[in-house]
Amino acid sequence: MKIGKISLTILLTSFFVLIFSSSSFAKTKEGGDSFLSHFYHPDWGYKNIYYTVHTIEEYYVYTKYDEVELDHHHAVAIGKTSGYPYSLELYVSGVYKDDAGTIGKINASDWRWRDRLTDYITDRGETVYGGGNTKTFYSTVTDRPKVTFTSGAVADGIYYGSTDEIRMSLY
């Protein structure tokens, strides 16, 4: 029993050491630019919504040559949906496809990101649309925080949740 407790302590210590020793840091930028997102709905047809970028979090890592490199970023954008005569809500898909074409579950950090988006929905009463996934989702080149530069570049898709609400799925 005692051995079990010691093993657990060692395991937990190693876990936290690993977490806090990684050479990375994050920067948060305020957004402001808008981008357009499209969807095709079986009842309403083609529609689009403008989203305003709220914040962009850029996560950097130090390379072995002590250079700084953007590892991944998360972006939060808010879309006005009050002009639509039906409810329009965000749905963040629980699965992703990586560079190798593997379908897998979104990892814990991305679920936290999803929770943040959900907070915005609850608190602000607005539809929130997130863009910019982790590096594992797409290539480094296309994973730059493009929401600030390219219209509709992030997370467009086909989105239908039920007959009463439109849900947008990130992929």
Partner 1 sequence: MKKTWVLLSVVAVVSLGSISYSLANIELNDHDKGTEFAKYYKKALEKNNDNKITIDTESEKISQDELTDKLARYQAYSKAFGIKLTEEDAMKKLEERTVLAEYAREHDIYPTEEEIKKHIKEMADSYKEHKYDVVAGIIEGLDITEDEFFFEFSRDGYEEELVRLNILNKIKSENEMLDGEDEIEYHKRMLSKLNDLIEELK
Binding site for partner 1 (CB under 8 A): 36, 38, 40-48, 81-82, 85-87, 97, 101, 103, 124-126, 151-152, 156-158, 160-164
- For residue 87, the cross-strand partners are 165
Least Å from the CB of residue 104 to partner 1? 12
The β-bridge relationship of strands 87-90 and 165-168 is parallel
Chain mean position to CA 146 = 13
CB-count exposure of residue 59 (10 Å: 0-12, 13-18, 19+): middle
CB closer to partner 1 out of 36 and 70: 36
Least Å from the CB of residue 98 to partner 1? 11
CB closer to partner 1 out of 15 and 86: 86
Least Å from the CB of residue 129 to partner 1? 15
CB closer to partner 1 out of 4 and 85: 85
